[in-house]
Each structure stands twice: as structure tokens, then as C-alpha cells.
Structure 1
């Protein structure tokens, strides 16, 4: 049991807030809870150890590979797979701890990939990297649910992202539609974690990993109509932000809400990027085709984001106006306005970024959260820096502008600190 909790219990008994019997019951509860909790550090080292063992075996075999006959090579190719299956079966039949499940599952995962690679090399089976990754992921997907392994679920998402990047960005620039299927396979497991372990660290990892994977892969769905790529990303970040504002996620600590942070940072980044005239000139060089894959993906993303926002309204989760939640709608209108001329669009985007910065400062002040407050100030500062490079203002005016922003940083934080102290008193 935590020493701080023990000291607190002792202090409560001395101050006669609780009786000695209640103190004993509290200690017993925490001790039983600790006994039921698996050793996370041991699990991490077990997973890491099984990974290193698997990689070490591959390296040893690779060093002496040319000295073996084809029959011996085939035996070595299937040996890790058989050993991995035996260990997994033993863990299930003997009902071993979660550490056994995690370690054996990771070993078998890499054994499958190693066996596939060795067999294709021995018998000269042709194929590209993305196809190899896809088959590997699909073969190991059932293990996620069979072993209920967090490590395997993480590997599934990481390797699915790798497959989509390889297929979409490198192997002929094709659209990785099967990536959607791979994500759908792991979603029930993620939903189970949200229902049963919403405050656990492993769930927080998935709250970051899933949206980050989608952000990385979305560019692979952009083909000939590159102009839609900007709009697709803004809508995606708007969708992530609205998901992050659902009370189930929004009521948790901010660092656990990857949807909200990635959505907010992504929105600001894309708006700052589109506040430059050169980007609009590049967009206007491409034809806006309405009968294209990118246009239909944009519609799906927009309707999904709009559906999440309307659902939040129907549940009365949206109590205050937060401009971040409507950015994807506003930018969509600005984007199609910019097709005819970029001047008005650039002005509107600069005003939108400024408004978002002010609103973020207000949110930080209302919550007495210095991180959010300074994030809003940083948005305004970054906008000022961006305009520093593409305007013809004199250096004196630019200097005064920076001094004003710096003074604003100081005054805002000082006022916030004084308010917090008075509130505490």
C-alpha cells in the first residue's frame, strides 16, 4: 500500500476522524486490491524479453543461413511458429497470468512474421512488402481476442498503420481501403477497454494511438485531387475534437484525451498553414473535381463529424459555444469560397485563428488552467509570427507587435495567478 495512504490513515485515527476498526478495514481493502493487480512492470519486461528472444533467434539463424540445406531451413522456418503456438496453448490451458498471455502472444506474433518471411525466401515466393504485412496482420488478429492482449492490440494498430503507409505512399500510391477493415477488427477490443478500464493507462494509450494512426494514414487516401487533402484533414481534426468533447472522454484528465489534443493542435496547424497565400495559389492550380474519390471521402468525413456534433447537441452535452467544434463547417465554406478567389478566404482564416486563440484563453481562464491559457496565447503568438514573414510592416511596428504579445503573456498569467489565489482564500 502507498506510504502516503498509510500516513493519511494514521493521521485520521489520531485525529479521531475514523476508528481503528475502520482503519484496519481500509488497509485490508487496499492490500486486497494490490494483490489482485498484476505487476505491470513485470508484464512490460516479459513482453520486451519475448520480443528480444524472437529477434535474437532470427539473427542467429540469419548468420548461419547459407550453411543449411533447404530441408533444415524449412524446419527452422516453422520451429518458432510451433514453439509460439505451444507456449500460447500452455498459457491458455493452465490459465496462466496476464503476463504469460502478453509475452506468449507477442512471441507468437513475431514468429508468424518470421516464418512467413523465411518460407517465402526459401521457396522464392514473389510478393511485395504491403501484401506480406497484410497477411501477417490478418493471421494474428484473432490472437488479440483469444488472449485479450493489450500488447497484441497495440501491435495490430501499429502494423496496420505501417501497411497502409507502405501501400498508399510507396507501393504504387494505391488507396489502402483494407486499412479500414483492419481498424474495424480491433475496435470491439477498444470499446471493451473504454467500458471496463476507461481510466487505466492502457486505455489512454489507445486514446492516442488510434487517432494518431488515422491522421498518419489519411494522406494515403488522397490521389489525383490533391486540393481536397487540406479540407479532408481539417474535417478529420474537427471530428477528433468533437469526439474528444464527449463527456466520457472530456471529463478525464487532459493528457488522457488524445482525440481532443490532436484535434485542437491539428485544427490550428491546418488553419495557420492555409493562412498563407502561396498555399491557396497551389490549391487553385489543381482542378476541383466533384466526381472523385477524394470528394466522396470528404463528404463521408463531413457527415460523420456533423453527426457527432448533432448527437452531442441531442444529448445536451454542448452547453457553451466552443468555436473549435464548428471549425470544420466554417472552413468547408471558406474552402469553396477560396476556389473563386483566395483574398477573402485568407482574411477569414486569419480572423478565425485569432478568434480561436481568444476563445482558448477564455476557456483556460474559466477553468483556472494555465496550460490551456498559455496555449491560447501561443496560438495568437504563432499567428503573429506567421504574419511577420508575409507582410510589409515596418520593423518598428513588428517589434511593437511582439512586445505587445509578450506583455500580454505576462499580464494574463499574472491576473490568472491572482484570481486563483483569491479563489483559494
Structure 2
């Protein structure tokens, strides 16, 4: 981006847009900024190099492992750990570059895991996979803050998620809730907060904006034990929480692709309500108030309500957005719909239609073709779902698809014409 701007400067000077003096100052400013910026590509290749070196050492040792004595095996088990600690210590004491810290942190992260595994194998220490991963995570978490390493933070989030999956979804630990997942994720939050505060629009922050909601989405199912019917409400409340977080101006003012909370929350809400729009969904038994799922649902509901109330106090809620208030409606509907399935089915279908119209309006107001077509896709998905579970004739079904297709064409055409008129008026 900077190189493109610098290349455009001579053309701007030639056309008398800016003077030569201003062009020189702009060029010097961006060149100095580029020199002070760490080489991200070098950091990435440093991390990849550490991974490959670590894997290569493991493969070499594994090939000759049976030929070594126990003492030799123990030395080799701790050797990567010692080397990794030396590199990390060197990076900290000598105040090396970001690439050094990221590479040494990544190497030591995997050295910790390999050392634990090798020592356990050499001395036949009993244990299961979840305990092994938990020990690995606990020992590697301090590296995030010692090195301020984004790579180690990402690896920890991935492994924390895997630990929760192993505990909650494993056949051997069925119905066991991984409460430690919440505590471990809380230990990563300060690093994420630092990125949000000082590197708001950095690419690494955008990765965390996607990684964290994905992690919570994967793990939430492990908190559903006996009342699976409440699991759907829990997920809807979680996606609503993501959406409301994404609508906070701090995130909402950024480019849409950086706002993982908003995109993931919106897609999750739409998928959940489409699932609930089928007739057979509401034929479920009543759930109990005194249950783990009820407490979690209540917590998620209060969290949504808290963000909404805070947004209202800050006057961020300028326009009505059905997505933001949907959790209130569905929480009430969930209780009523379980008693009267017809009410639940009809209401949800109307809600999906309203969500589609709301999204189309948001896209039209912002002149955003992506959001506009997303709203049309929601309506198309609703029509498609009703295609499979209703007794309408094929003529009516065909007409519905024709009308939706025409809606796609006409809406985009009208939007395109308005955008051209707006550009034309700005030029004049």
C-alpha cells in the first residue's frame, strides 16, 4: 500500500495536485515509517522455521529412539527444552526483534510438549491426553507475556480449545464439563486486550477477532449435558452476544472483514433461526429450571442485556436492528413455543423474514452490496427450507424462487443506479 502511494507521487506533482516539496515530505515520512516497522514476513518465516526445525529433531530422535539408553533418552528429552529456553533468554536479555521472539517462543512452546511426552514415555508415567495437553498449556502460558508473542498466544488458544473438546466431547469423559477452559481463556484475555488497545487495526488483532468467537462456538457444546433442547437457545444467545459485541463502535467502525464477532454472530443467528423454523423442532419436552444449561443460558442472557444497556447509555443504538434484540424475543418464545409448537414455528418463520428485510435495509442504507445480498440470501434460505417441509404445489414453489431471483436482480440494479447518482452528485 505504501509503495503504491509513493509511486503515485510523481504523477500527482506533474498534474499540480501537490508540490514537489510536499511529495518529498510524504515520501520521507512513509519510508521512515516502513523502516521502523518490524518485518512481518521475516517473523512469519521465523515461526515456520522453528516449527520445521522442531519437527525435524523429533523425527530424527524417533527413528533412533530404541537404540538409546534411558539416560541418553532423558538427556534428549530435555535438550530441546534447554535449547528453547536459551533462545528465549537470549531474545529477552538482548532485546531482539519481534521475529526473534516469535520464533524462539514457538520453538520453546513445542519443546515443552515434546519434553513432557518423552519423559512420560521413558518413565512410563500414567495419564490421559487431556491431562497432557493441560500441563502443556499451563507451562507455556507465561511465554505469552514474557515475549509478548502473538504466535504463542494463538497456539495456546488452539490448544485450550482442543483441551476443552477432548474433555467435553470425548467418549471416555462424556458429560464432563471443561470449566478450566474458561479460566485458561481468561489468562489469554490480557494479551488480546493489549492488542485491541495498541494495535486495533493490525492483521494479528483481526485473527484474534475471528479465533476467539470460533473457539467459544466449538466449546459451548461441551457445556450441554442433559438438556440438549436448551443447547439451541444457548448457542443463539452466544451468537447474539457476538453480534452485540461486534456492534460496539470500537469494532463496528472497522472494516467488515476485521469484525469477526459481527460476521460470526450474524451467520450463527441466521443458521440457528433457520434450524428452529422447521415444524418438528418445537415438539420437545419442557426443560428444568434447576440445571446447568439453564444457568449458562441465564448468564448469556444477562451478558447480552448488559451490553445492550451499556450501548443504550452511550447512545450507540441510533437505529433499530432486530439482530440486537433477537435474544429477548427468542428467550420468551423458547418457553412459550415448547408448550404451543404452532406458535413457535410460525413466529420463527416471520422472524427470519424480518431478519432478511432488516439486513437488506442495512445494506441499502450503507450502500454495501455484500450486506444487501446477504439479506436476500437469508430470504432465499427461508424459501428453500419451506420448499422441503411444506405441501405447496411445485408451481407455487417455482414462482417463489422466480420472485426471489427477480428480487436479487431488481434490488441490486436499484442500488447500483442510486450509487451512480450519488457519485455523480459528489462530482458536481
Q: TM-score range by the shorter chain?
A: over 0.9
* Residue number in structure 2 paired with 1:300: 299
Instruction: Please name the residue that 2:111 is paired with.
Output: 111
- The residue number in structure 1 matching 2:262 is 260
- How far apart are the structure 2 equivalents of 1:7 and 1:30? 12
CA distance in 1, matches of 2:352, 2:79: 58
Distance 1:324 1:155 in 2: 32
Query: Aligned equivalents of 1:390 and 1:90: distance in 2?
Result: 65
2: CA distance between counterparts of 1:19 and 1:264?
47
Quote the Cα distance in structure 2 between the aligned partners of 1:94 and 1:7: 37
Report the counterpart of residue 202 of structure 2 in structure 1: 200
Shift of 1:27: 1.1
TM-score by structure 2 length?
0.97
How far is 1:332 from its partner?
0.7
Alpha-carbon distance in 2 for matches of 1:420, 1:336? 45
Report how far residue 59 of structure 1 moved. Answer: 1.3
Q: Distance in 2 between matches of 1:311 and 1:31?
A: 42
Q: Deviations over 1:154-209 (max 9, x none)?
A: 01100000000001110412100000011100101101100111011000000000
Q: Distance in 1 between matches of 2:338 and 2:391?
A: 25
Question: Offset at 1:17?
Answer: 3.7
Look up the match of 1:361: 360
Tell me the equivalent position of 2:24.
24
Report deviation, 1:14.
2.6
Q: What is the distance in 2 between the residues matched to 1:419 and 1:15?
A: 31
Which is worse superposed, 13-22 or 318-327?
13-22
Distance in 1 of aligned mates of 2:401 and 2:279 = 22
Please state how far the C-alpha of 1:340 moved relative to its aligned partner: 0.9
Q: Distance in 2 between the 1:57 and 1:277 partners?
A: 57
Q: Which digits, 9 at most, give the CA deviation of each residue in 1:385-417, with x for residues without a partner?
A: 000000000111111111111111111111111
- Does residue 1:131 correspond to 2:131, yes or no? yes
Written as runs of structure 1 = structure 2, the 5 A alignment for 1:261-410 is 261-281=263-283, 283-284=284-285, 287-410=286-409
Task: Identify the residue that residue 237 of structure 2 maps to in structure 1.
Answer: 235
| C-alpha distance in structure 2 between counterparts of 1:361 and 1:207, whole Å | 25
TM-score normalised to the size of structure 1?
0.98
- The correspondence for 2:188, drawn from 186, 189, 193, is 186
Residue by residue over 1:219-242, the C-alpha shift from the partner in whole angstroms, topping out at 9 and shown as x without a partner, is 000001111101100000000000
Distance between the aligned counterparts of 1:278 and 1:339, measured in 2?
11
Cα shift readout 1:347-370 (whole Å, capped 9, x = no counterpart): 000000000000101111111111
Task: Determine the structure 2 residue equivalent to 1:156.
Answer: 156
With over 3 angstroms needed to count, the CA separation of the structure-2 counterparts of 1:399 and 1:89, relative to structure 1, is: same
- Structure 2 unaligned blocks of 5 or more: none
CA drift at 1:326: 0.6
- Count of aligned pairs: 422
Shift of 1:28: 1.0
Structure 1 residue runs of 5 or longer lacking an equivalent are none
Deviation at 1:18, TM superposition (A): 3.1
Structure 1 consecutive aligned stretches of length 4 or more whose deviation exceeds 4 Å: none
